[in-house]
Amino acid sequence: MTSFHVARSGSGESGPVLSNRQGRVLQAVVSSYVGQGGPVASQTVSALLPMKLSPQSVRNTLSSLGELGLVGKAHRSAGRVPTDLGLRVFVEQLLTPRELGPFEKRELQRGLDHGHRDDLAEVTTRLLFERTHQLGFFRTPQLEGMVLRHVSLVRVSRERVLAILLTAEGRTFQRVIEEPGQDDQAELDRLASQLSRRVAGRTLRAVRRHLLREARALRSQVELLLERMLQGDAAPEPGHEGDAVVFSTRLVLLDQPEFQQPERLRELLRALEEKGRLVEILDRVADAPGVHVAFGAEVGDPSLRRCSVVIASYGRSGAAAGALGVIGPVRMDYARVIPLVGYISHLLSETNDA
């Protein structure tokens, strides 16, 4: 079964540990809320419980869950709805992800195999959209997470040097750095050879962490040059797309009751266009294994407060190249979505290792 981890909120707290009865009742609330998208009445909770509880016991348990901040009321007379913390506790403590069947796994593999490498973003987002009925997204591979193979240095002026970074996947990135000099290409070639030995088989992210652990006074010329290479962004070679987040068709949002109001839909589309908050979340989970979930307010953007984001990174072993996932309403079917996102990331990682 695909492993998964849940992205923590700022407090780092995962919520209280529940009794068996509290857990069953919270499961019933979340299950009904996911299915109907509205407040859940105590009678509905009673009908969904696997054991017999009196109406008073159900109401008392709902009250205790309310005191713990796991369920709330949209209106005084309405039923209960799970809070962001309640959803977190549900996913971390109570959820049993549904294992994908052999046929579905083969279908996902076939879907990715039929896509050209240059169309990987489109193929992946379409698979996510079709299989989850949520908005799929795909982050193209980043230099930071790519395993490097070779570095070249070319003098382009008396003040600047062009650093060319070749990844293990064969992608080339260029970065111009300030390095005064003249008629020193032979020395640059020597430094590039040393740099290549330093970075080969490692990611820039791992190299940066290594440099931060060393005292500046102990760094060699090679290390100081490498540090300047790590500053700023690298541009991909012509013909390669830069770091980007690609979405599936946004029309899927129209099928969600939460986004039927035009103003809510406009807010969400605006947030997706800007992409800043989503990129921040992707950066936080770049090196972590498994599937991550950010709920509602944890996403950090008011326009996404009614949404959940399910994310998984992919890439070579120990080095994340990119990320993928879905965005949808908080009443998402996590038991279905989490293993599916995890398995597609696994397939993409195998593709990168090939």
State yes or no: pLDDT of 235 exceeds 60: no
Q: What is 20-94's CATH number, 1.20.1250.20, 1.10.10.10, 3.40.50.2000, 1.10.630.10?
A: 1.10.10.10
The pLDDT assigned to 11 comes to 44
Strand 135-139 and strand 80-82: the pairing is unpaired
**More confidently predicted of 48 and 198:** 48
**More confidently predicted of 223 and 127:** 127
Contact 179, 160 (CB under 8 A): yes
**More confidently predicted of 317 and 137:** 137
State yes or no: pLDDT of 49 exceeds 70: yes
The pLDDT assigned to 353 comes to 55
Q: Over the stretch 58-101, which tens digit does the pLDDT of each residue have?
A: 999 999 999 999 999 877 667 899 998 999 999 988 998 888 99
Task: Count how many residues are written for the chain.
Answer: 354
Percent of the chain with pLDDT over 90: 21
Q: Mean pLDDT check: name the lowest of 64-73, 123-132, 293-302.
A: 293-302
Enter the tokens of residue 240: 């390669």
Enter the tokens of residue 251: 């029309």
Give the Å distances, CA to CA, from 140 to 136, 156, 259: 13, 29, 27
Considering only the top CATH level, what class is 102-142+243-353? alpha beta
For residues 339 and 98, give the distance between their C-alpha atoms in angstroms, rounded to a whole number: 7
Q: Over the stretch 28-41, which tens digit does the pLDDT of each residue have?
A: 999 999 888 788 98
Q: Mean pLDDT check: name the lowest of 93-97, 141-145, 195-199, 244-248.
A: 141-145
The pLDDT assigned to 119 comes to 80
State yes or no: pLDDT of 354 exceeds 60: no
pTM over 0.85: no
Give the Å distances, CA to CA, from 70 to 61, 81, 228, 244, 354: 11, 9, 48, 36, 44
Query: CB neighbours of 298 closer than 8 A, spacing ≥ 6?
Result: 7, 9, 10, 84
State yes or no: pLDDT of 177 exceeds 70: yes
The pLDDT assigned to 2 comes to 47
Contact 140, 117 (CB under 8 A): no
State yes or no: pLDDT of 185 exceeds 50: yes
Q: What is 144-236's CATH number, 3.90.1150.10, 3.30.390.60, 2.30.31.20, 3.20.20.140?
A: 3.30.390.60
Give the Å distances, CA to CA, from 45 to 63, 73, 134, 243: 13, 15, 26, 46
Contact 151, 272 (CB under 8 A): no
Reported confidence tier of residue 9, pLDDT bands at 50, 70, 90 = very low
For residues 34 and 333, give the distance between their C-alpha atoms in angstroms, rounded to a whole number: 6
Can you give the residue ranges of every domain in the chain? Answer: 20-94, 102-142+243-353, 144-236
